[in-house]
Amino acid sequence: MNNFTIIGAGQAGLQLGMGLLQAGHKVRVVTNRTAEEVATGKILSSQCMFDTALSYERDLGLNYWDESCPKVNGIGLTIDNPDPSALINWAARLDAPAQSVDQRVKMPRWMARFEELGGELVICDAGIEELETYAAESDLVLVASGKGEVGKLFERDAERSAFDRPMRALGLTYVNGMRQDDDYSKVGFNIAPGVGEYFSFPALTTTGPCDIMVFEGVPGGEMDCWGEVDSPEAHLQMSKDILARHFPLEAARCEQVELTDDNGILAGRFPPTIKKPVARLPSGALVMGIGDTVCLNDPITGQGSNNASKASRVYLDAIVARAGGEFDEDWMNATFESFWDIAQYIVQWTNSLLLPPPDHALAIYALANDDRETAERFANGFDDARAYFPWFMDAEAAQEWVASRSR
């Protein structure tokens, strides 16, 4: 039996913590917000998760919301155009449903389950001093603090970080009253070239089923407009105004929407950043990062919680395989590289969507209007982004794909 301390009670920290408890280890999770504070606080994410990431939760028996959470059964893409022959508008089914459980619902339940399994939950805003104490007391300290300050300990990996500034101004709005899709539920992804993106999908929040509106505005552009919003009512109105101005096809679905609650809103921005996975404390002790702490993506592709789940699984397997051994720097780096084998494709694909779409991507989007296989292939890449390589990501391979499907 080993002894672990994890900083942070989010997707990465709690999922790994409960996996380690179930593998027979001793685990302490240190977090700076109580379950009550999380449950009654502001939303933090849109947290749509796809089947592979959900399967790792199921493996640990943490899938408490399979019945109550509305299913997301497909992905749709719309790029509006005044010329109807150039309109891109298609949808395709996912092979297995996705789901989004508000972290205000999920994390308090998981915190309770962590304690039921025998974990020690400590409420503390951990800084360097606390990390030193935990490092002295534990076989391994994992930092799963998301975008929290303590993550600054980890050095930015300049080679793996494509951007050094925020690429989108983000807005989130949780609503009731959205007109539902006639055919099947989906992440309805809309692009307004040069301005930004908007997508929405059904979810489960503190008050029951809802829909989540996600706004991704190009910085300095017309959707970078949340600074002037100073109340929940103004946030909702701004959400509707953006749709009316840039996504008229979606505006019609949202005429009746109301906020789920006054905390169902968020605005912010951050630079997508990959960090080195190991940090050294002043004493020389090492700590290891996981989740957003070391692999922070823009939410444009909805991959962060999925990544956190995938990382938890990779780290859990590596820890179990290390039974009796030391969690030294080489092991930490090798474990992160195993995660990076998966994550690099997710990061590359996500980053590519933050830049203006190249011609080969537009050609694939247009082809998917009439070609079911292309649409389904694209949709299911949200579950495993390795599927986009090379046919979507590489210009030459994309041209070949389009030519082969058009014959």
Ligand X SMILES: Cc1cc2nc3c(=O)[nH]c(=O)nc-3n(C[C@H](O)[C@H](O)[C@H](O)COP(=O)(O)OP(=O)(O)OC[C@H]3O[C@@H](n4cnc5c(N)ncnc54)[C@H](O)[C@@H]3O)c2cc1C
Whether omega for the bond prior to residue 390 falls within 30 degrees of 0, making it cis, is: yes
Residue from 4, 6, 8, 76 touching ligand X (CB under 6 A): that is 8
CB of 374 to ligand X, least distance (A): 23
Nearest CA to 101 out of 202, 205, 256, 197 is that of: 205
Residue from 2, 6, 9, 74 touching ligand X (CB under 6 A): that is 9
> How far is C-alpha 40 from the chain's CA centre?
21
**Structural contact between residues 307 and 297, judged by C-beta atoms closer than 8 angstroms:** yes
**Residues in contact with 256: Cβ distance below 8 Å, sequence separation at least 6, in sequence order:** 177, 178, 179
Nearer to ligand X, 54 or 398 (CB): 54
Rounded CA-CA distance 177/298 in Å is: 27
Start-to-end Cα distance in the chain: 60
Asked if residue 260 binds ligand X (CB under 6 A), the reply is no
Q: Scanning residues 72 to 131, which ones bind ligand X (CB under 6 A)?
A: 125-126
Nearer to ligand X, 104 or 360 (CB): 104
Among 11-19, 61-69, 241-249, 326-334, the segment contacting ligand X (CB under 6 A): 11-19
**Residues in contact with 245: Cβ distance below 8 Å, sequence separation at least 6, in sequence order:** 222
Rounded CA-CA distance 336/341 in Å is: 9
Asked if residue 239 binds ligand X (CB under 6 A), the reply is no
Rounded CA-CA distance 121/14 in Å is: 10
| Chain position carrying tokens 């300095």 | 220
Residue from 5, 6, 10, 336 touching ligand X (CB under 6 A): that is 10
Binding mask 40-79 for ligand X (x = CB under 6 A): -----xxxxx------------------------------
The helix/strand/coil state of 105 is: helix
Nearer to ligand X, 170 or 367 (CB): 170
Residue from 304, 313, 336, 343 touching ligand X (CB under 6 A): that is 304
Burial of 17 (0-12, 13-18, 19+ CB in 10 A): buried
Nearer to ligand X, 297 or 374 (CB): 297
> Which neighbouring-strand residues pair with 211?
175, 202
Nearer to ligand X, 11 or 273 (CB): 11
Nearest CA to 206 out of 44, 50, 55 is that of: 44
Instruction: Count Cα neighbours of 6 within 13 Å in the Cβ-side half-sphere.
Output: 33
CB of 68 to ligand X, least distance (A): 18
Burial of 149 (0-12, 13-18, 19+ CB in 10 A): exposed
Among 75-83, 291-299, 345-353, 358-366, the segment contacting ligand X (CB under 6 A): 291-299
Nearer to ligand X, 11 or 260 (CB): 11
Residue 292 CB neighbour total at 10 angstroms: 27
Asked if residue 374 binds ligand X (CB under 6 A), the reply is no
Residue from 6, 7, 94, 238 touching ligand X (CB under 6 A): that is 7
Nearer to ligand X, 269 or 405 (CB): 269
CB of 11 to ligand X, least distance (A): 4
Asked if residue 132 binds ligand X (CB under 6 A), the reply is no
CB of 403 to ligand X, least distance (A): 34
Nearer to ligand X, 43 or 368 (CB): 43
Among 298-306, 333-341, 348-356, 390-398, the segment contacting ligand X (CB under 6 A): 298-306
Binding mask 143-182 for ligand X (x = CB under 6 A): -xxxxx-x-------------------x-x----------
**Structural contact between residues 36 and 108, judged by C-beta atoms closer than 8 angstroms:** yes
Nearest CA to 270 out of 148, 103, 382 is that of: 148
Rounded CA-CA distance 33/264 in Å is: 18
Nearer to ligand X, 108 or 363 (CB): 108
* Residues near ligand X (CB under 6 A): 7-13, 30-33, 45-49, 125-126, 144-148, 150, 170, 172, 214, 266, 291-292, 299, 302-306, 308
